[in-house]
Structure 1
Amino acid sequence: MLDIKDFSIFENQASFDFKGFLMKIAGYWKWFLLSLIISFTIAYQVNIRKEKIYAMETLISVKEENNPLFTSTTSLVFNWGGISDQVQTISTTLQSRSHNELVVENLQFYIDYLVQGKYNLTDAYGAVPFYVTIDKTKGQLAGGLIGIKFINESEYEIRIPFEQNSVSILTYSDNSYATTAVAEGEFVKRYKVGQQVSLPFLNWKLQIKDAPGFYKGNEYFVRFNDFNGTVSGYKGINVRSDDKGSSIITLGMQGTNKARMVTYLNATVKMLIKRQLDSKNQFATNTIAFIDSTLVSMESQLKETGNELKTFRKDKNIYDIEEGGAKFSDKILEFDVQKDELTRKVAYYNSLKAYLRNSVDYAKLPAPSVAGIEDPNIVTNVSKLIALSTQRSEMAYAVKSDKIFKDFDNQMAAIKNVLLENIASAKSSLQYDLAMVTNKINQAEGSIKKLPDDQQELIKIKRKYDLSDNIYSTFLQKRSEADIVKAANLSDIHFIDPAKDVGGGLVGPKTSVNYVMALFLGLLFPLLFVFAMFFINNSIQNVEDINKLTKIPLIGVVGLLKESSDLAVFDKPKSALSESFRAIRSSLQFLYKKQDVEGAKTLMITSSVGGEGKTFCSINIATVFALSEKKTVIVGMDLRKPKLFDEFNLKNDLGVVNYLIKQKTIEEITNPTQIPYLDVILSGPVPPNPSELIISDSMGEFIEELKKKYDYIILDTPPVGLVSDALELSQFSDVSLYIVRQNYSKKEMITLLNNRIKRGELNNVSIILNGFQNKAKYGAGYGYGGGYGYYDTGGYGNGYHEVETKKTFLSTLVKRFKK
């Protein structure tokens, strides 16, 4: 039972006995022990069912690698943005959706390979003896377990339990879902290893790995997961870099399967290296594509002029003709080459200017070197623009911050403005040079017109041929240069320590944490329960409750009855419970003496409601008077719900009712008991008008006759909170005892008692606290003084009271069986 003193921390006290508080809480140790057993059992079951968690890492470095074939005349440069920018870009890329989609697709990690563990299915990637190749254009069973059992080395059985008549299928080519009809129940079918499986819900080939080991008779499971869900799981890869700007990056993963993590960590770095090289080669790739398209047109033009020259030489003395115009031919070719170079530069600038003004994606810009432009400002700024554009497109899949994109856009806008100014300046210079070369060509052409017609025609044809041949050779050289640069490019990302399973790496589960949580919760829940019971419990708990609610004196505290019989004093006269009733007897004698009651003394015992122990207290108070050789009688005045007869194994055929209706005399209704000097008068048959009988004149005559025969008259009455019978009987009693039972009687009943006393309905009332248990044992045996009596000595009464041996479960069971 709860004791409000156990929560004295909530009372307004000058000091708080913390040690006492802990000892009182410890009184409920059984609750705490049960809660701890349950919580630790749950923690243990959770721990043994949890799969082991491992951590794997790979270490890479970021170092800006310059192409060893770059020269002062090689302008195919890719600027990644510097080491610090690379580290940030790589960290973002590794966690981006687009990057992890490529890795998951490459490894087909949306397929789970499972085996049945002791408690649940476990990831068996790398340990199963087979793998499946799927047709991505056809549907696969989505999310369901596909059981695979090997009948022999070359034959296996598929088992799929279908709980409904339709299932969801997933097509990985476009990651779309659909449904297909199936037969409800278990699907079972056998296939050969390597045989194509073509079902509405499954399309694969199962292949055995090299050196698979023994697998005959073993059972495995395959599951097809959602592609996007799988990618989301791997986006959480842990990427760490030194805060001081170091170029070392650590990639880490945690999971239950070390082989899967090792494969993924190494694959994601390899995919990153490939993508970074592709980005680094973007300049060269763009340039090669531009040169290839130019070479196609130049090749046809060169072939056309070659045929024209061949036709002209036919049937002519070509040597005489060439000798006369050789000096003019070489000179004008030089001017034509210069003009072509200047024209190509101007054309590139015009094209670049239009591209800058009209486009937003600059990743496909060709290198300025294809037009022979070596201006470092132009080359560097175009390189930066391509780098920023590529980086921005990469981050579009991983970063959702508008501020970052605005920063990129601002940087690219600034570079565009600088480029446009550089273009304007370079074009004005080129226009001047182009005018000078054109003037020289005009002068040379004027001199050529003075030559014979055959020489003029030859120079004209040869001029076109030599120019085309020169341009073609130049582009071939640049294409070769671009191929070499592309092949010689090095990635900026290097493995330091690839991921590898070298044993260890166990990081979970955190069993100690679970046990600490179990300890905490195992103590918290019963504590909260105790506090909750305290706040919602409105029943009397202890002496302090009574003292706070009323000024009616408390003359005794009776402990909890642990026997089946209510004759506690008679059965065990030396017990602590018996001593508490003797203390009540002493207090009653003091009250009688104080009121100058002479002769026979009457005592009325009542309570608020039934079940508070009126009859129990009546019997034992009467017993202690009888044991002191005082003639005592217990009168069962509860005419509505009699109970007294049961305690003495009597029949309730005759009693007070028979006397009050003038049927029987007192001698005829009086029953002797096994206790010397103690008689009992039962209530008798239940009457239809109990209240009228009690207020009749016969009741007064009845009490007067009893006073002539007995020293003490104990009236066992009905509850005063339910009926008015006890109020009518109070006029016949010298003292009224009001029984309050711990953790049963409600506090508001004390308030009703106060009101009755104020109205004079009850007089000379004292209170007894019944059924008291002080679980905390703190202060046990101290007593309350003033005849409160002994309720629990807690060891201080050794030698004074009868020692009560605890009954075993077996003895209690035997006793109940005998009953």
Structure 2
Amino acid sequence: MQANLNSKSEKNIASLIINWYLPYWPLFLILIVVGIGTAWVYLHLWAVPVYESNATVMVKDEKKGVDESGSMEALQIYPTKNIAENEIEVLHSRKLIEQVIEQLLLYAPIHEGADFSQWKFNETSAYVSSPVSIVVKNPDELTETGDTDIALSVNYYTPKERQLVNNGYNDKVKEVVIENKKYPLRVWCNTRWGELKFIPNEKQTTAPVGPLLFSLNRPKDISPGILLNLVVSSPNKLSTTIDLTLRDEIPQRGEDILNKLLIAYNRQSILEKQGMAANTLEFIEVRLEKVEKELDSIESVVQTFRTDKGVVDLGEQGKMYLQNVGDNDRKIADLSMQMAALDEMEEYVNSRSNKGDLVPATLGIADAVLIDLMQKLTTKKVEYETLLKTTAENNPYAIGVQKEIEQLRPLVLEKLKNYRLSMDAGRRNLTSISNGYNSELRTIPQKERELMTISREQAIKKGIYSYLLEKREQTALASSSANSDSKIVDMAGTSAVPVSPKKMMVYCGALAVFGGLGIGIVSLKEMMNKKILFRSEIESLTNVPVIAEISVNRDKESLLKSSSKVSIVAEQFRHLRASIGLFGRKKEINIKRILCTSSIPGEGKTYVSTNLATSLALAGNKVVLVDLDIRKPRTSAIMGIDQHAGVAEFLDGSKTPEEIIMTTELKSLSVVSAGRGEENSRELILSGRLDILIAYLSDNFDYVVLDASPIDPVSDSYTFSEFCDITLFVIRHNRTPKTMVQILDNNNKFKALKNPRIVFNGIRSRGILKGMYGYSYGYGYENVYRDRENKRSKLQKIFHFSSKKDKKIRV
């Protein structure tokens, strides 16, 4: 069900488009031709072709795997922190573009003016055709020319002048003329716009075609226009390459701008690094000078400390002190052992026993005399003891040995005494020395702490000084080897063909504009029309069904002529008969009395009723056509029987039904005129005699066709409605107001009509050429039902009638 609704909606829209616009196809054809011609003129005589230049650069993006070289990383001067997205903004910055503008002198553009003799209707850039370029001394302080272009011309050297001039240049241009003032080349000249210098254009490849014009603008005012045509983008999020695209009308200029932009971008990166290095070097030099002074001061303090405290090397001195104290202690221990030995020796010597007792040890005794005396004394005692074992004490020899022993004893004691004194002096000296060493050892930690504090500060300053010296060398090396953070992959290249304007788009745009203009004209015309034009309008304004569409009869074809049975008029009225149901196979459909009326005069109700009656008669039915429009009997008038007795005479009782019925040349078709009634005849309609007439006609004819007056100005039609089986309400193309149809459903007179049906009459061909009928939804078909034997002939008269007395009436 939904598919059917959609199909119906699409069909209605398509029908509406066909109905509204197709009749005006010549207008659309003319507009399309004009649009194509306009597009051709624009493309060939007016539009300036625009070319696209492209370049590619790769940046070092650490986040995407592109890092700096190992040597630069080792220097740690310029750590890479670039991000491709940030570099895109840098490349698209106004600062770089302004540098490019100044380098390429784009602030002083020179144009070629229009030259109608050469079919040149617009200005073009003379970037590669101008023989000179203009240099401004202070572009930022330039006095602009505004929107006014200043005429410029050049004078060339003659061959003789060229031979006389020898300035080191091979210039062809002699001077520049601006406002009748001549300016030489390569010289700063004072002008009303500031100091200007004219130089030969190194980019000139062609000769100028039109007159030369120039303008002056500050770089900051030109940069937005270039940035608008410059696109800087990355192919994808993972790529470190950046694509630059610039559209310009001069391919060479587009390439120069991109190349200069890349060079300026690299130069800026290098200058930033060199500037950073210069600042770093300056800072390092200042710090080195300060640290050097501080280091000298600390070293002086160390020297004074070592001098005042007698410190050379506290560690070695401490070790030496400890070693000396140990040595002294050992010496003192030796002396103590020797003193103990002396005590034993003295006790041995003082012993009155002359026996060879245990001899004391002399180990460690360094006095050889004492040892010798002790040896002699011991020997004599041993000898004496031995003698006593064999002899008596009074033995002379024993007494002699005893006397020797007594003589030796004082000598040994004296020697022991002297040696003891010597050893006591040595022990005291060693003890004093050890005490001195111990005192020095106790002061070493304090000295070491003080020296450590001074040394720590000295070491820090030394480290800083060494670090600064290293960084100074690294910075100097990095500054001399500074390179850019980007790599130019492709220098600028330009497309071989223009990218704008696109011919197909221009032509399509022209077709769209002029086609839209045609649609607007037709739509405005149709929307301003307040009359009914389409069947769809009728169906949208009322619920009454439209059962037939009747085209306008331009050739006045007659349905009475047998040769017209295949005419379009006959076919349309056959369709009307079928729609009413007069040719149904089932005879249960009982429609005999047919009323024809309309809303206002001139809608063709008489035409419909007359031709419907004729069509029915041609089909072999016995038909009577009754003119009930007593006030304005149009049917009677066009048939020429308006002076004959008719309905009015029957209503006033002066005539019988048989007397007012008139026959025509069609035996099965009869006519009843409105009669020559007075004004009061309209009042006789309510007398009750009309139903007698209708009943009589119904009994004697197969069909009764009633032609009544319009329902809007008079009230006859809805009075006649009770006598009929069906009412045909005629609406005429481009005649009936839409408001009249809109109020039909609420009109009491219309509601009183019995079984109403709408006939859409007088449909005309629409548009510029009149070769189509307004058939169906207002568009129509060709007249395929036209008489095959006489398609182009003018048809003769429409109707011929005769009375019962065989009186011929020509209509």
Could you tell me the TM-score, scaled by structure 2's length?
0.52
Q: Once the two structures are aligned, what percentage of the paired residues are identical?
A: 20
Tell me how far apart the structure 2 counterparts of residues 581 and 20 of structure 1 sit (CA, whole Å). 26
Q: How does 1:248-647 map to 2 (within 5 A)?
A: 248-286=241-279, 290=282, 366=283, 368-372=284-288, 434-440=297-303, 486-501=479-494, 504=496, 506-512=498-504, 541=535, 545=539, 549=543, 557-563=548-554, 565=556, 567=558, 572-582=564-574, 603-610=594-601, 612-624=603-615, 632-633=624-625, 635=627, 637=629, 639=631
Shift of 1:94: 1.0
The one-letter code sitting in structure 2 at the alignment partner of 1:719 is P
Q: In the TM superposition, what is the alpha-carbon distance from 1:278 to its structure 2 partner?
A: 1.8
Question: Is residue 2:90 matched to residue 1:93?
Answer: yes
> Structure 1 counterpart of 2:144, which letter?
Q
Return the alpha-carbon distance in structure 2 between the equivalents of residues 547 and 431 of structure 1.
106
Aligned residues: 573
Deviations 1:485-514 (A, max 9, x none): 75554444454433245x626444444556
**What residue is the counterpart of 1:307 in the other structure?**
none
Q: Corresponding residue for 1:725?
A: 716
Does 2:123 align with 1:131?
no
Q: Give the distance between the partners of 1:725 and 1:669, measured in 2 at CA.
A: 20
1:678 Cα offset (Å): 6.3
Q: Distance in 2 between matches of 1:611 and 1:697?
A: 29
Amino acid at match of 1:623: T
Q: Alignment partner of 2:246: what SS?
A: strand
Larger radius of gyration: 2
Q: Using a 3 Å threshold, how does the CA distance of structure 1 residues 277 and 704 change in structure 2: closer, same or farther?
A: closer
Contact 2:651 2:685 in 1 (8 A): no
Amino acid at match of 1:85: N
| Letter paired with 1:574 | V
Q: Shift of residue 275 of structure 1?
A: 1.9
* CA contact 2:532–2:538 (8 Å) conserved in 1: no
Deviation at 1:57, TM superposition (A): 2.1
Q: Distance in 1 between matches of 2:126 and 2:133?
A: 11
Say whether the 8 Å CA contact 2:721–2:753 is kept in structure 1: yes
Question: For residues 284 and 593 of structure 1, do their structure 2 counterparts lie closer, same or farther at Cα, with a shift above 3 Å needed?
Answer: closer
1:430–1:150: structure 2 CA closer, same or farther, 3 Å change rule?
Answer: closer
CA pair 152-669 structure 1, distance change in 2 beyond 3 A: farther
Q: How much has 1:206 moved relative to structure 2?
A: 6.1
Q: Report the Cα offset of residue 93 of structure 1.
A: 1.5
User: What is the rounded CA distance, in whole Å, between the counterparts of 1:763 and 1:71 in structure 2?
Assistant: 104
Structure 1 residue ranges without an equivalent (≥5): 1-7, 156-187, 291-365, 374-425, 447-474, 776-788, 812-819
Distance, in Å, in 2 between the alignment partners of 1:481 and 1:546 is 91
Amino acid at match of 2:745: T
Q: Is the 8 A contact 2:107 2:216 kept in 1?
A: yes
Gaps of 5+ in 2: 61-66, 159-177, 310-467, 767-775, 795-811
- Which of residues 203, 206, 209 in structure 1 aligns to 2:201? 209
- Give the Å deviation of 1:606: 0.7
**Alpha-carbon distance between aligned partners in 2 of 1:708 and 1:245, rounded to the nearest angstrom:** 98
Q: Is the 8 A contact 2:105 2:133 kept in 1?
A: no
Distance 1:51 1:109 in 2: 19
- 1:57 alignment partner in structure 2: 54
Supply the AA of the counterpart residue of 2:92.
Q
Q: Deviations over 1:322-365 (max 9, x none)?
A: xxxxxxxxxxxxxxxxxxxxxxxxxxxxxxxxxxxxxxxxxxxx
Q: 1:442/1:610 Cα in 2 relative to 1: closer, same or farther (>3 Å)?
A: farther
Between 1:480-489 and 1:651-660, the stretch displaced more is 651-660
Please give the alpha-carbon distance, in whole angstroms, between the structure 2 residues aligned to 1:576 and 1:656: 32
Q: CA deviation at 1:748?
A: 4.5
Q: CA deviation at 1:95?
A: 1.4
Specify whether residues 119 and 537 from structure 1 end up closer, same or farther in structure 2 by C-alpha distance, changes over 3 A only: farther
C-alpha deviations, 1:752-787, integer Å up to 9, x for none? 47x6687xx444655545467999xxxxxxxxxxxx
Which secondary structure does the structure 2 equivalent of 1:235 belong to? helix
2: CA distance, partners of 1:751 / 1:259: 75
Matched letter for residue 541 of structure 1: R
Q: Distance in 1 between matches of 2:48 and 2:306?
A: 90
Q: Deviations over 1:398-439 (max 9, x none)?
A: xxxxxxxxxxxxxxxxxxxxxxxxxxxx99x99798434234
Question: Which amino acid is the alignment partner of residue 567 of structure 2?
Answer: S
Superposition deviation, residue 617 in structure 1: 0.1
Residue 171 of structure 1 corresponds to which residue in structure 2? none
Please give the per-residue CA displacement for 1:240-262, whole angstroms capped at 9, x wherever unaligned: 45758666544332333212211
SS at match of 1:98: helix
CA contact (8 A) 1:150 1:216 kept: no
Write out aligned runs for 1:744-763 (5 A).
748=742, 751-752=745-746, 761-763=752-754
Render the CA deviation track for 1:164-216: whole Å, top value 9, x for unaligned: xxxxxxxxxxxxxxxxxxxxxxxx95454659998878986666636968858
Q: 1:574-610: per-residue Cα shift (whole Å, max 9, x none)?
A: 224314435656868779997999xxx8643112345
Conserved 8 A contact 1:606-1:719: yes
Which residue in 2 is equivalent to 1:148?
151
Partners of 1:689 and 1:204 in 2: CA distance: 105
Deviation of 1:34 after TM superposition, in Å, equals 7.3
Change in Cα spacing, 1:22 to 1:216, as seen in structure 2 (3 Å) is closer
Alpha-carbon shift at residue 92 of structure 1 (Å): 2.8
Offset, 1:792: 12
Residues of 2 paired with 1:193 and 1:646: CA distance?
97
C-alpha offsets along residues 94-144 of structure 1, whole Å, 9 cap, x if unaligned? 1122222332233342444434485644444323333334575453232x2
Name the Cα RMSD after superposition: 6.7
